[in-house]
Amino acid sequence: MEGLESRGFVERAGCGMEIIRRLGAGIFVVRTADLKLIYVNRRFEEMFGYDPGELNGVDVATLNAPGSNSSPQEIAERIAAALRRDSLWSGEIENIRKDGSRFWSEATITATQLSEQGVAWVGVSQDVTEQKQAQGALQRKTIAIQEMLTAIESEKEKIGRAMVSNVERIIMPIIHELEVGLSQTQQKTVDLLKKSLEEIISPFAKRLEGAFPSLTPTEIRMCNLIRRGLSTKEIARLEHVCPSTVNKHRENIRRKLGITGKRINLATHLEALVNDRGKG
């Protein structure tokens, strides 16, 4: 009978195979000449949903589930090629049961000499479907958490930009207006308030200063006002300078940013420039 020799091999393996049996692993033997199964134990038959003896002489590729880019036969041939080269193969493979349902198994296959059958491939296989499903669920949860953290970080950035915008566009101009005609004590209080607010909006100044160190503190302050859409007259009034001085600052800023003579909106350029560097 075809499977007797391989059965004899399994029996001669002694306590090693007994340990495998106790672990509930499936055992199979494949003839290298034609890739036919010549022995399987009962656990292996149960894993694949076959009755006793049904798998004897069956092409091992029959047990492989078709992959997205590979047929069952191609999968079997790849494993066979590795065994011919290395005499050992170990890995996970998606299988198909008799009823067509799929499951994942982890197998280790080694080349072994049988006295009558010649070289055969003896394998140990275990169903790892539950572990794969648990890994998949964990991976999906990890991805969901990462997406949630990314969304939270994005929302924080939006809130931060909105806060900075409100401070620069609404609060700071009011403070500049309040500075006119203040006493020395009042000016100290306003200066303290300005410094505290500037610490809140400092990310823009720090990014700009880091990217273009040649910009002076006054020019960085001008950039801050320009990117918020304030006109030359509005900036001149807030800075207590004449409009021509603001225009001179604009020219210097464009030169230092490398956009002199280019049809580029300075406010838009500043906003995009700093936002891009902030993402990096």
The verdict on residue 138 lying in a domain is no
φ, ψ dihedrals at 106, nearest 5°: -110, 125
One domain, residues 123 and 155: no
Per-residue confidence of the chain (280 residues) as pLDDT tens digits?
344 444 555 555 444 455 455 557 899 999 988 899 998 999 999 999 999 999 999 999 999 999 878 899 999 999 999 999 999 999 999 999 999 999 999 999 998 877 665 778 999 999 998 888 888 888 888 888 888 888 888 887 787 777 777 777 777 777 777 777 778 777 777 776 776 676 566 667 777 888 888 999 889 888 888 887 888 998 888 788 899 999 999 999 999 999 999 999 998 998 887 666 555 5
Contacts of 167 (CB under 8 A, 6+ apart): 197, 200, 201
Q: Is residue 249 a contact partner of residue 219, using CB atoms and an 8 Å limit?
A: yes
Q: Is residue 45 a contact partner of residue 125, using CB atoms and an 8 Å limit?
A: no
One domain, residues 195 and 114: no
Q: Which two tokens stand for residue 157?
A: 């950035």
One domain, residues 275 and 157: yes
Q: Which pLDDT tens digit goes with each residue over 97-107?
A: 999 999 999 99
The verdict on residue 140 lying in a domain is no
Q: Give the number of domains in the chain.
A: 2
First-to-last C-alpha distance (Å) of the chain: 70
The verdict on residue 142 lying in a domain is no
The verdict on residue 143 lying in a domain is no
One domain, residues 254 and 186: yes
One domain, residues 204 and 265: yes
The verdict on residue 144 lying in a domain is no
One domain, residues 158 and 275: yes
The verdict on residue 251 lying in a domain is yes
One domain, residues 115 and 153: no
The Cα diameter of the chain in Å comes to 111
One domain, residues 110 and 161: no
- Tell me the residue range of the domain where 56 lies: 4-127
The verdict on residue 136 lying in a domain is no
Of the residues 69, 94, 127, which one is the last residue of a structural domain?
Answer: 127
One domain, residues 157 and 108: no
Q: Is residue 44 a contact partner of residue 20, using CB atoms and an 8 Å limit?
A: no
- What is d(CA 38, CA 4) in angstroms, rounded to the nearest whole number? 8
Of the residues 94, 127, 160, which one is the last residue of a structural domain?
Answer: 127
One domain, residues 153 and 263: yes
One domain, residues 68 and 182: no
One domain, residues 163 and 274: yes
The verdict on residue 94 lying in a domain is yes
